[in-house]
Structures are given as C-alpha cells and as structure tokens.
Amino acid sequence: MSLTDTAIRRAVAKKKPYKLYDTGGLFLLVTPSGGKWWRFKYRFAGKEKLLSLGTYPDISLKKARDRRDQERRKLADRVDPAVNRKAVKAAWVDSQANSFEVVAREWIAKQSSIWAPTNTKKVTRYLELNLFPWLGTRPIADILAPELLAVLRRMETRGAVYTAHTVLQTCGQIFRYAIATGRAMRDPASDLRGALKPVKGGHYAAVTEPKAIGVLLRTLDDYQGSVIVRCALRLASLVFVRPGELRKAEWKEIDFDSATWNIPAVRMKMKEPHIVPLSRQALDILKELQPLSGRSNYLFPSPRGNKKPMSDNTILGALRRMGIPKEEMTGHGFRAMARTVLDEVLHVRPDYIEHQLAHAVRDPNGRAYNRTAHLPERRKMMQDWADYLDRLRG
C-alpha cells in the first residue's frame, strides 16, 4: 500500500526506529529522535543496498518518489546508484580543488614572494572584484574564451577599459600556470587578443571606477617610503589640484582657522588666485605633516634640502614603486578621478566641480567668476568628497 502525506505527518517517534513503506523500494525511516529519513532499497549484482534520498519535510513525498524513479532508471541502465553518487561527488570535489579561484590564489601565493605586498594586494583585489564572482567556482579547464570575454565586457561597460586589459593579461598568466601544473590544457585568454576595446591615449591615466578607487586608496595608505611623500599622495586625492600646485605648496598659504588653502595667481595655470577648501581629513594630514616639514617654506620639501620643493617625479616614482603602472594612474589623474566621480556618482553640479578644478568658468554674460564663487557649496562638496573616499577606502 502506498504512503500518504497524512500518514507521514501522523507518524510519531517510538523507542525503536521503524519503517513506513511506499512502493518501488522507497520507504520512510522514523527515528526515536523524531527524524524522518527517506531511503531507497534496491538490489545490484545480487546484493541488497540502501541509498539516502533526504529528509522529510525538506523532501516531500512527491520529490522522494521522483528521486526514487531517477535511481531506478540508472538501475535499468545497469548503473549502481550508490557508486554513481560517489563518482559524482568525487568529480565535484576535484573540480572545486581545480577551480579558477583556487588556481588563481595559488598562483598569486607563488608570485607574492617576488612581488611588493601592495602589488599582491592589488592583483588579488582586481580578481576578487572582477572575476571570482562569475568564474571563481568554475573548473579552470572548462573555461572557454567566450565565457571569459563576457566577464571582461562587464568592465568595458563601466568604462574600466584599461583594467579589463590588465585583468586579461593576468588571466593569461593564471591559465599558463594551470597548464604547467596539469590542471588545464590551453589558455583561452590568448584567443582574446584584439577582442577588447583599445585603451585610449591622449589623456592622463586615472582610476575612476569606485571599487578600484578604494583599492588605490588602500595602496596609497600602505606606502612604505617617506612620510612626507605618503602625506602628499593622500592629500592629492582630497584636493585634486595640479601636481605642480601640490608639490610647491607653502605653509604660509594654509589657513587652519578658516580651513582653506590660498594658492597665489603666480602658481596657477590660469594666472588667477585659487581657493581650496580643506576637509577635516585634509586638515588631519596637514597636522600630521607640520612637525616634519614645518621648518621649511614648503609642505613637501626636497629630501636634498628644505629650500626647494620635492621634484615633479617624486609622486610618479612613488606610484611606480607601489606597482601602479603609468597606464593606470598619474599624479594628474587625481583630478580626472575627482571630476568623473563627483559628476557621475555624487551628482555634484558641474560648474562647482569646474570652479574647484580652477578651470575657466564664465557667467551668462561671458565674464569669469571670481575665486570665491560658490565657495560654501564647494566647501560642502570637498567634505562630501573626502567622506566618500573614506567609505571607498573602508
């Protein structure tokens, strides 16, 4: 007689386990603790065997019968369900041991012995953000070129074309490592040469994708060189002035009381004086810097003497030593980063941004605005920007 849902619900625990039989070898085992386990009894090669099909009520009577029927079809094909299950599980375990993420992290661990810590962190973060969510669990030997291209297209779509090229290059190295260690037969990344959009030239390289900005900021925070240079790197992202304006900044231009930096016209590209409102974060950096360079005229003096500012290659050199390539970020790129994100993510009025970038902005009558134009709004924008960078950093 077949089981019913009512009979299953009414079944109560007893001192000893007992069985409620259905048809075709299916039965429900009721344990003294009250558990209800589906079992499938069958014979293969003259031996009686049992196979677990799950527990009730997670597996309903209908689902249990469907699973029983699946296993009976295997028996009809002379396949032992228990052996088949073990083989499927072993194949899954093997695929997980050779998944793209497992092989990639193994490759990173090998490379980290010769990489700078910041570079290891950067490459890991690129993969965690852009590849692992979609390809991480896939067996590396099964990944095909179109599948990899689809993931890279996501980066292209959000404008991170250079990052897509960088990630593709990294994938090629990972696949070649998989081939060398016997876990893949070929490198699908090599099939994608020319498939991505070319990286546009003619502009200063800049990181503009929010998650990538967070990686960049954490990399800058980990800079292991001079504290003065580290302060310059951190301040560059907060004030986004031109590199020459930053490295030649003088202490007499900083007004801590009003939280402003007054840059004289002689140092500005447009030959107009410029005001930079200073966020709380920028002031904290300046207070950290003052005991180190306060005796010099310059915030960032040359290591060769306090009478000259740092060279124009100092920031670039620091970025390169941290493993940040010139195609990804330059000293001037902090301006492009701020301009893009303030407009597209924080939705700040474009004229406020242009004023703060010290670009030529004119009123409806064609006259240039003075340096104090929209100063309260710009001050709020600069604080919002600093707070936003803190969130990305975290």
Q: Which of 163, 192, 221 is the endpoint of a domain?
A: 192
Q: Are residue 29 and residue 54 in the same domain, yes or no?
A: yes
Q: Are residue 329 and residue 181 in the same domain, yes or no?
A: no
Residue 20 lies in a domain: yes
Amino acid 358: pLDDT: 84
Q: What is the CATH number of the domain that holds 71?
A: 3.30.160.390
Q: Are residue 247 and residue 177 in the same domain, yes or no?
A: no
Amino acid 361: pLDDT: 62
Amino acid 220: pLDDT: 86
Q: What is the CATH number of the domain that holds 346?
A: 1.10.443.10
- Mean pLDDT of all residues belonging to the chain: 85
DSSP letters, 202-261, are SS-----SHHHHHHHHHHHHT--S-HHHHHHHHHHHHH---HHHHHT-BGGGEETTTTEE
Residue 200 lies in a domain: no
Cα–Cα distance measured from residue 225 to residue 123, given in angstroms and rounded to the nearest whole number = 21
- Contacts for 57-65: CB closer than 8 Å, 24+ residues apart: 60/5, 61/3, 61/4, 61/5, 61/8, 61/22, 64/22, 64/26, 64/28, 64/38, 65/22, 65/24, 65/26
pTM, to two decimals: 0.49
As a whole-number percent, the residues of the chain with pLDDT over 70 amount to 92
Q: What is the pLDDT of residues 161-179, one digit of tens each?
A: 878 888 898 999 999 999 9
Q: Are residue 149 and residue 267 in the same domain, yes or no?
A: no
Q: Are residue 116 and residue 235 in the same domain, yes or no?
A: no
Answer yes or no: is pLDDT of 340 > 90.
no
Q: Are residue 181 and residue 244 in the same domain, yes or no?
A: no
Q: What is the pLDDT of residues 27-79, one digit of tens each?
A: 999 999 889 999 999 988 888 888 889 999 899 999 999 999 988 888 888 88
Amino acid 235: pLDDT: 93
Q: Are residue 109 and residue 87 in the same domain, yes or no?
A: no
Q: Are residue 110 and residue 84 in the same domain, yes or no?
A: no
Min mean pLDDT across 268-272, 319-323, 361-365 is at 361-365
Cα–Cα distance measured from residue 370 to residue 48, given in angstroms and rounded to the nearest whole number = 92
As a whole-number percent, the residues of the chain with pLDDT over 90 amount to 35
Catalytic positions: 242, 269, 332, 335, 359, 369
Q: Which of 92, 110, 145 is the endpoint of a domain?
A: 92
Residue 323 lies in a domain: yes
Residue 105 lies in a domain: yes
Q: Are residue 46 and residue 142 in the same domain, yes or no?
A: no
Residue 202 lies in a domain: no
CB contact at 8 A, 183 and 98? yes
Q: What is the pLDDT of residues 226-282, one digit of tens each?
A: 899 999 999 999 998 988 899 899 999 999 999 999 999 888 877 788 999 999 999
CB contact at 8 A, 162 and 156? no
CB contact at 8 A, 314 and 232? yes
Q: Are residue 88 and residue 104 in the same domain, yes or no?
A: no
- Contacts for 148-154: CB closer than 8 Å, 24+ residues apart: 148/188, 148/189, 148/192, 149/192, 149/195, 152/192, 152/195, 152/196, 154/130
Q: What is the pLDDT of residues 323-335, one digit of tens each?
A: 777 667 777 788 8
Q: What is the CATH number of the domain that holds 123?
A: 1.10.150.130
DSSP letters, 15-77, are SS-EEEE-STTEEEEEPTTS-EEEEEEEEETTEEEEEEEEETTTS-HHHHHHHHHHHHHHHHT
Q: Which of 92, 120, 153 is the endpoint of a domain?
A: 92
Q: pLDDT-derived band of residue 367, with 50, 70 and 90 as boundaries?
A: low
Q: From residue 113, how far is each of 4, 48, 163 by CA, in Å?
A: 63, 55, 24
Query: What domain range is 44 assigned to?
Result: 5-92
